[in-house]
Structure 1
Amino acid sequence: MKVAVMGAGAVGCYFGAMLARAGHDVTLIARPQHVEAIRQHGLTFESRSFNGAVPVQATTEASGVEGADIVLLCVKSADTESAGQSIAPFLKPNATVLCLQNGVDNAERLQATIRQIAVPAVVYVATEMAGPGHVKHHGRGELIVGTSPASAEIARQFNDAAIPTTVSANVIGDLWVKLITNCAYNALSAVADLPYGPMLKVEGVTDVMTTVIDECTAVAQALNVPLPETLRDATLALAEAMPAQYSSTAQDLARGKLTEIDYLNGYVVRKGKELGIATPTNLTLHVMVKLREAHLQHSRS
């Protein structure tokens, strides 16, 4: 396959590296410092089973999607529409765009922008950019993709590339499971600047997370989104499986970047208001992260 990755940060570089190692033609569309490093040395890929350079193409231009059979959209949720506008003129008519993003409505917003198939996907991977053109994989790496004419073939190709991929007819429910997990962990990890293991050892944190999960579940049920009965226990168990992991929100703040909190706890708050469902704990966490963002912006002015 010819694959393009739009917004090749940690997530995009990981999946791009895995596909390139399997022999696919991969182009990464990334920030200038990453593109320069990749052009000079290849994509440095560090994982438990591999540590070395992966040859890929890299560019800063949206035209890098031209000719791609599959485009992995890995930009921040706030950039979905603008990224869609930039790649739309270069997309093949039959290209499939997979949204590898946090949040639940990116594919819907993207499809309205590009006027062709955008497939929602749920991403479970722990990875980070350890430097320019250097992606470091900490664990997991599976995908759940929605249904489309190309989804079965994409799943086959991705599985062959050692990316565990399943096709789900209930991908919106799967996205909500991921959203609820993010709502429970991300803001708390960011505000405390703590990884999951030590964070949950603080008295009261589990109670706060349980309340967040219950509020999110109430909103999802009002939207007729099916959720697993084991959701609460599975969400709280994540800290034991990934005790050293900082949330993506915490990583964004640590790098002085704005976060996706408006599309996590903020999304639940907005939907709750529309439905007449109170979400005070999600609102509190949303505001706390927005205050951290405001502090970053104030310190720069």
Structure 2
Amino acid sequence: MTLRYMIIGAGGTGAPLGAFLAKNGADVTLIARGAHLAAMQEKGLRFEQSDGEIWTVPVKAFDMDGFLAAKAQGAPSPDVIFVCVKGYSLDDTIPFIRSAAGEKTVVIPILNIYGTGRTIAGAASRSARDRRLHLHLVQSRRSRRDPSVTARSSA
């Protein structure tokens, strides 16, 4: 079984995660907006490593409404959702997660803000009456930058 990954927020955290998954053959969909979304749809995702290597990988990219439209037409739900939005966007992202996720989707928040896991888990438990949403929460108290990889995505 091939896992289907979704990354919500294709910025400084989500773009490198999506780029490496796609480069290694994973079924990955990025959720973005604006000019960055248009650039990924047209040109793929460009990645610059700290060693100077630059590469571009084609990716599936949608805005939230576009993905939900595709799902309504039969596109499958992701098996794993990485939530990589900024903390202030989390409240607007939760309804999309509820709609995009399948019954057994695993949601992994990767945000540098305290309390993110509790916020998502609380929203999921409130929606549990509608359907089951399994959450595996990964949080870190401290964020350390790995100097060996500097990722930048470009529009």
Q: Same fold (TM over 0.5)?
A: yes
Over the aligned positions, Cα root-mean-square deviation in angstroms equals: 2.2
Query: Is 1:69 aligned to 2:75, yes or no?
Result: no
Query: Is 1:56 aligned to 2:59, yes or no?
Result: yes
Q: Which secondary structure state, in structure 1, belongs to the residue aligned with residue 139 of structure 2?
A: strand
Quote the residue 2:98 is aligned against: 88
TM-fit CA distance, 1:114:
2.8
Structure 1 residue ranges, 4+ long, deviating more than 2 angstroms after superposition: 62-66, 120-131
TM-fit CA distance, 1:81:
2.3
Distance 1:61 1:83, change over 3 A: same
Richer in helix (by share) = 1
Distance 1:21 1:128, change over 3 A: closer
Query: Is 1:121 aligned to 2:139, yes or no?
Result: yes
Structure 2 unmatched ranges of 5 or more:
69-75, 126-132
TM-fit CA distance, 1:102:
0.8
Quote the residue 1:131 is aligned against: 154
Does the aligned pair in 2 maintain the 1:6–1:62 contact within 8 Å? Answer: no
Query: Is 1:40 aligned to 2:58, yes or no?
Result: no
Does the aligned pair in 2 maintain the 1:28–1:64 contact within 8 Å? Answer: no
Q: Where do 1:202-241 residues align within 5 Å?
A: none
Quote the residue 2:11 is aligned against: 9
Does the aligned pair in 1 maintain the 2:48–2:54 contact within 8 Å? Answer: yes
Distance 1:12 1:51, change over 3 A: same
Distance 1:130 1:19, change over 3 A: closer
Quote the residue 1:18 is aligned against: 20
TM-fit CA distance, 1:5:
0.6
Q: Distance between the aligned counterparts of 2:66 and 2:99, measured in 1? A: 8
Quote the residue 1:27 is aligned against: 29
Q: Distance between the aligned counterparts of 1:124 and 1:98, measured in 2? A: 18
Does the aligned pair in 1 maintain the 2:6–2:81 contact within 8 Å? Answer: yes
TM-score (norm: length of structure 1): 0.40
Does the aligned pair in 2 maintain the 1:99–1:119 contact within 8 Å? Answer: yes
TM-fit CA distance, 1:16:
0.7
Q: Which has the larger radius of gyration?
A: 1
Query: Is 1:102 aligned to 2:125, yes or no?
Result: no
Distance 1:25 1:108, change over 3 A: same
Q: Where do 1:281-300 residues align within 5 Å?
A: none
Does the aligned pair in 2 maintain the 1:81–1:113 contact within 8 Å? Answer: no
TM-fit CA distance, 1:112:
1.4
Q: Which secondary structure state, in structure 2, belongs to the residue aligned with residue 67 of structure 1?
A: coil
Does the aligned pair in 1 maintain the 2:8–2:30 contact within 8 Å? Answer: yes
Deviations 1:32-86 (A, max 9, x none): 2111111111100111274111111011125638511111101111222220112
Quote the residue 1:111 is aligned against: 121
How many residues are treated as equivalent by the alignment?
A: 132
Q: AA paired with 2:154?
A: G
Does the aligned pair in 1 maintain the 2:79–2:104 contact within 8 Å? Answer: yes
Structure of higher RCO (CA pairs closer than 8 Å, 6+ residues apart): 2
TM-score (norm: length of structure 2): 0.75
Q: Which secondary structure state, in structure 2, belongs to the residue aligned with residue 101 of structure 1?
A: coil
Distance 1:130 1:53, change over 3 A: closer
Identity score, percent: 26
